[in-house]
Chains A and B, each alone.
Chain A
């Protein structure tokens, strides 16, 4: 029965794709929303009735679905967060119907893929074994490839989509290896089998899982693929960052943390990767001049904080921060999409739309403050929980996390002030009025962000924590004060950074820092090297490997020619010579037949003499 939760959205996606092109926009969006709502209701029913499911491929390969704590949280959160995004994408990306004809193939494909994406994500979070997980994991990657390349007609976009797909698939390889290691050790693929795995194989599995999770949730050194993914439509970015693709990485770590904690280096490595990404991502976002890329870098950084929480032994904290982040980041992306329609581009330097879009500016301010970690918003509480979790490992770690929080306050301020500042620019290119459903979607997400403020009340967060069986770290009051103070400091720094006219546009080394310190260049270099290597191997194949064959053929031809000339002479010569010899012998013999008696007599005498000589030789030898 649990299968219905992922399969229903997938089926709905298929129907939308096939029939959607002839529907009007509202009908299309309504059916997509219906599919997502049914998925949500089914998920809730599944949790209440504790559904499960398995599907047998063969003796060794069994696909299983099973509910787990992170799984339950995600299976509800994913469609909930996706819902406003689906509405927004319909009204933002699809053309307004004028006549009777439908939205066309492109629009239907976009909506269908978004719904399919949600279905694949549901499969991912409900998977009960590594094989099912791997299937969903790759499907999510394929969906994101198709969504990013939505505007396939433009030159660079298909290339960016391929980059995003290949980088995340590099991570998928880790999951292949992890699944193989678990099978090699236990003969099955179940998550529970990880618990009974010993020594070396468990380490291999842990390494593979970390690789897969790091690539998906855009941690260093894979973080740059999110920049390439920014070529997709803005609603796709919102979905990718808040609910699906990137979220898959953190889900996996939270799900398997109990099993993998037995590996000595697993927790320290998770903390290191997360912290490095949180700090570096903060710097990148600080010096990034492209609205979506700023948000993308911020996503990497925020997921880095979740990694730290998991590495510190508190997956529950990571899950809560995930929810808070999902609401605020989805809202900010949708808002950036609206801003782009007004400004004509995503260049922050061209925006300052506060006067033009006061309502959006105020709504976005809530999300920006949440990202900055300002009391009393829910994201601030979950971030402080990450700081407390880190303090359980070491005080220095907690301080570094607080510094990462300070950076997020800085770039959140920068985003808000540059995008929605009051000093209006001249010559804005776009001039589209935001529609009510778009604003409604944005408002819904912002309301959720506001609602999460309840987490600051102990009774409210206990209500979330206890039924899920999660634990929270105990914190120090002074650490909380210090961390909140750092967030305020970040806001001040961000505001002063924006005030200087020159510094709004990054220059010099800042550009370098804003582009992940050259990571994309490095990856491009690696890709180009592989391609060059492939091409030289192709030449090698044509000229060297095939040369053996051509050489054999040449050799055979030469042999044939040699045979035709020399050997033929020999072959002709020997029998020819023999026949000439015979002929000559015949002529000679005929000459002997002269008809003159004295010739015959002398011949007889010679012959008689020869016989005598032979007899004598026979007698005496």
Chain B
């Protein structure tokens, strides 16, 4: 029941907010934060109760819905789903608590955030393909309204582009899901049955087409180069907290879906196409980093580093799926690394986007050339940005390193050349973040920034929690790795 509780709480909160018309912005934020935190707490309890030595999926809830079609409300988690969901819930709490001026509709803003939280957690917790798809699509609705109504600049256009592009991806995903469903002898949407039966093993072209549909749909969401162009405008025009959710949670649905659907349910086909996917991931790593280096806009720069980082995740997944060598330890390392990258990127990029939201609220400007010399004026802002930037460029002692090191080490054992080329990405990332820090905080303070305010208490409080998470994972990741390896060893070894 614990997972259903985690799922239901934010939705209840959203309904409660909608139902109480006379409520101030601060009260709305507190109510929303309360419901979101309770949901996080439920997931933490689930974490405590998870047995790494137990079965793959735990905390399973199942309620029949349309038995004749094999449809049911099924939720449950393995280690990978649980860590990604918990990270997401934490990020939602952070995004809700982070000060944001929602205009004259604060109630609606927080209600939509809570709605989005339920839908996002649903994607990670669902054990039913149809349920997964429904949640997957409904997240688009939540994000569409958050960007369109509370964004700035060309928010409507960006929201529309985001919605249509990712919705097109969803449709491909739906085709794939139906294909998977029909391939079973007694059709059911139960993921556990699909993972166990591997219905499409060795069916050639049909399996290839289903795989293509699933991967295309998920790659748009991830996003992989060249299907990424919806991401930068959506980020640039979205409000800071929504950006943090978009990068931290919504992008993970693509890579999480890759692990849950094609990787787990059709591993023979995935193994067949692992190398091309790994090469595309490599292109995403290098291309994302280089394009980010070429950006003058703070938010666009961070947005493109997301493409680079999600490239690491996809690389890890593809390597874990490859069967060219029987180096199981290396493949498991790659899958574990890919999952840690999801968690680490969520926390790090979430923090970076919240910070860029603070910049926007202060000056209404994302152009890097607008800033400079802020280190003395805003030492806390500088400190948190430096920490997040170094975490993002893979500095040891911080979360990103634990992920990237495992991905590269695993990759080297399977595709040495891809690892050697991909590692160049972390050099370019270092260059672009140092350049960003220099342009924001170092050098002389321009006269128009003389009144630039330091972070408020609520802002640095939220950032401190995220920073703590980044440091703890970087220094002592055992609590995380144990849980992930419980699943990655089964997923990689069970072939």
- The reply to whether A152 and B375 form a contact with Cβ atoms under 8 Å apart is yes
Tell me which residues across on chain A come within 8 A of B375, comparing CB atoms: 152-153
Contact (Cβ within 8 A) B397 A135: yes
Query: Which of B225, B293, B482 is the one whose CB lies under 8 Å from A58?
Result: B482
Residue contact A162 to B435, C-beta cutoff 8 Å: yes
CB pair A135–B396 under 8 Å, yes or no, is yes
> Roughly how many angstroms separate A533 CA and B330 CA in the complex, as a whole number?
34
Contact of A60 among B333, B420, B441 (CB under 8 A): B333
B413 at the interface (CB under 8 A from A): yes
A159 B438 Cβ-Cβ under 8 A: yes
B373: contacting residue among A58, A149, A153, A184, CB under 8 A: A153
Closest residue of B by beta carbon distance from A109 = B379
In the complex, A456 has a CB within 8 A of chain B: no
Distance (Å) between the CB of A248 and the closest chain B CB? Answer: 14
Least distance between A121 CB and chain B CB atoms (Å) = 14
In the complex, whether A139 has a CB less than 8 A from a CB of chain B is: yes
From B165, B402, B437, name the one whose CB has the most chain A CB atoms within 10 angstroms: B437
**Is B226 part of the binding interface, using a Cβ–Cβ cutoff of 8 Å?**
yes
Of residues 58 through 81 on chain B, the ones whose CB sits less than 8 Å from some CB of chain A are none
Q: Which residues does chain A contribute within 8 Å of B329, judged by CB atoms?
A: 60, 187
Cα(A544)–Cα(B405), bound, Å:
33
Within the assembled complex, what's the spacing in Å between the Cα atoms of A407 and B16? Answer: 81
B18 interfacial by beta-carbon distance below 8 Å: no
| Residues from chain A with Cβ under 8 Å of B396 in the complex | 134-136, 138-139
Judge whether B370 is part of the interface by a CB distance below 8 angstroms: no
Please indicate the chain A residues that have their CB under 8 angstroms from the CB of B330 in the complex.
183-184
- The answer, among A60, A152, A184, for a CB contact under 8 Å with B442, is A152
Mask: chain B, 381-403; 1 = CB below 8 Å from A; 0 = not: 00000000010000111000110
Cβ-based interface call for B97 (8 A) = no
B190 within 8 A of A: no
Residues of chain B with a CB closer than 8 A to A531's CB: 293-294
Closest-CB distance, B79 to chain A (whole angstroms): 12
Report A527-544 CB contacts with B as 1/0, cut-off 8 Å.
100110111111101000
Q: Given A162-B435, A176-B405, A183-B409, verify A537-B390 contact (CB < 8 Å).
A: no
A534 & B290 in contact (Cβ 8 Å cutoff): yes
Measured CA separation A237–B26 after assembly (Å): 51
A residues 146-196 touching B (CB-CB < 8 Å): 149, 152-155, 157-159, 161-162, 165-166, 169-170, 173, 176-177, 179-181, 183-184, 187
Contacts of A134 in B (CB 8 A): 396, 405
B419 at interface, CB cutoff 8 A: yes
Which residues on the B side are within 8 Å of A527 (C-beta)? Answer: 431
Q: B412 on the interface (CB 8 Å rule)?
A: yes
* B135: interface (CB < 8 Å): no
Interface contact B431-A530, CB-CB below 8 Å? yes
Interface residues of B in 446-479 (CB under 8 A from A): 476-478
Q: Does A105 contact B (CB under 8 A)?
A: yes
Interface code B472-495, partner A: CB below 8 Å = 1, 0 otherwise? 000011100110010000000000
| Other-chain contact of B477, A57, A180, A535 (Cβ < 8 Å) | A57
CB nearest to A149 among chain B residues: B442
B134: min CB distance to chain A, Å: 26
Cβ–Cβ < 8 Å partners of B376 in chain A: 153
Let me know if A549 and B294 touch, CB within 8 A: no
Interface of A is mostly: helix
Residues of B within 8 A of A155 (CB): 443-444
> What separation, in Å, do the CA atoms of A158 and B225 have in the docked complex?
32
Q: Is the CB of A545 within 8 A of B405?
A: no
Question: Is A131 touching B412 in the complex (CB atoms < 8 A)?
Answer: no
Shortest C-beta distance, A384 to chain B (Å), equals: 40
A side interface size, CB within 8 A: 54
Give a binary string over B409-450; 1 marks a CB under 8 Å from any A CB, 0 the rest: 101110010011001101110111011011001111000000
Chain B residues 214-261 with CB under 8 Å of chain A are: 225-226, 228-230
> Is B327 an interface residue when CB atoms closer than 8 A count as contact?
yes
Which residues from chain A contact B426 at a C-beta distance below 8 Å? 169, 173, 176
Most chain A CB within 10 A, of B295, B442, B481, is at: B442
Q: Of A169, A546, A549, which one neighbours B427 at CB under 8 angstroms?
A: A169
- Give CA–CA (A61, B302) in the complex, Å: 30
Task: Say whether A598 faces chain B, with CB atoms less than 8 Å apart.
Answer: no
Please determine whether B291 and A541 come into contact, CB atoms closer than 8 angstroms.
Answer: yes
Indicate whether B124 reaches chain A with its CB closer than 8 angstroms: no
Determine if A142 is an interface residue (Cβ-Cβ < 8 Å).
Answer: yes
B290 pairs with A177, CB closer than 8 A = no
B150: interface (CB < 8 Å): no
Taken together as a complex, chains A and B put the C-alpha atoms of A418 and B442 apart, in Å, by 35
Closest A residue to B474 by beta carbon equals A135
Instruction: Say whether A56 faces chain B, with CB atoms less than 8 Å apart.
Output: yes
* CB nearest to B289 among chain A residues: A534
A162 engages B431 (CB within 8 Å): yes
Chain B residue numbers with a CB within 8 Å of A173 are: 423-424, 426-427
Whether a CB of chain A sits under 8 angstroms from the CB of B313 is: no
B412 touches A549 (CB 8 A): no
| Shortest Cβ distance from B437 into A: residue | A158
**Which one of A57, A179, A535 lies within 8 Å of B294 (CB-CB)?**
A535
Interface: A59 (CB within 8 A): yes
Of B287, B290, B375, B419, most buried by chain A (CB within 10 Å of CB) is: B290
- A166's partner among B229, B434, B482 (CB-CB below 8 A) is B434
Instruction: Name the contact of B423 in the complex, choosing from A142, A152, A176, A183 (C-beta under 8 A).
Output: A176
Question: Known contacts A134-B396, A142-B390, A165-B430; is A152 also within 8 Å of B441 by CB?
Answer: yes
Asked if B442 contacts A58 (CB within 8 A), the reply is no
Contact A549 to B395, CB < 8 A, known contacts A152-B443, A183-B330: no
A177 to B412, Cβ gap below 8 A?
yes
- With A138-B396, A173-B423 given, is the CB distance from A180 to B412 under 8 Å? yes
Q: How far is the CA of A167 from the CA of B438 in the complex (A)?
A: 17
Alpha-carbon separation in the docked complex, A162 to B437 (Å): 10
Residue of B nearest to A170 (CB): B427
Residues of B contacting A535 with CB < 8 Å? 293-294
Docked complex Cα distance between A611 and B295 (Å): 86
Could you say which of A105, A180, A533 has the most chain B C-beta atoms within 10 Å of its C-beta?
A: A180
Of the residues A138, A177, A180, A534, contact of B291 by C-beta under 8 Å: A534
Q: How far apart are A528's CB and chain B's nearest CB, in angstroms? A: 12
Chain A residues with Cβ below 8 Å from B478 are 56-58
Task: Give the residues in chain B near A183, CB-CB below 8 Å.
Answer: 330, 333, 409, 412-413
* A residues less than 8 Å from B292 (CB atoms): 534
B270 proximal to A (CB < 8 A): no
Q: Give Cα A530–Cα B423 distance, bound, in whole angstroms.
A: 16
Q: Which residues of A contact B427 (CB under 8 A)?
A: 166, 169-170, 173
Chain B neighbourhood of A177, CB < 8 A: 412, 419-420, 423
Kindly list 18 other residue pairs between chains A and B, CB separation below 8 angstroms, not including A176-B426, A180-B411, A545-B229: A57-B477, A58-B478, A58-B482, A134-B396, A138-B396, A139-B395, A152-B441, A152-B443, A157-B442, A183-B409, A184-B413, A530-B293, A535-B294, A537-B291, A537-B294, A541-B229, A545-B225, A549-B230
The 4 closest A-B pairs by CB, nearest first: A538-B294, A180-B412, A534-B294, A534-B293
Please list 9 pairs of residues, one from A and one from B, whose beta carbons are closer than 8 Å in the complex, sorted by A's number.
Answer: A57-B481, A153-B375, A159-B438, A162-B438, A176-B426, A180-B412, A534-B292, A537-B290, A548-B226
Contact residues of B with A, CB < 8 Å? Answer: 161, 165, 225-226, 228-230, 287, 290-295, 327, 329-330, 332-333, 336, 373, 375-376, 379, 390, 395-397, 401-402, 405-406, 408-409, 411-413, 416, 419-420, 423-424, 426-428, 430-432, 434-435, 437-438, 441-444, 476-478, 481-482, 485
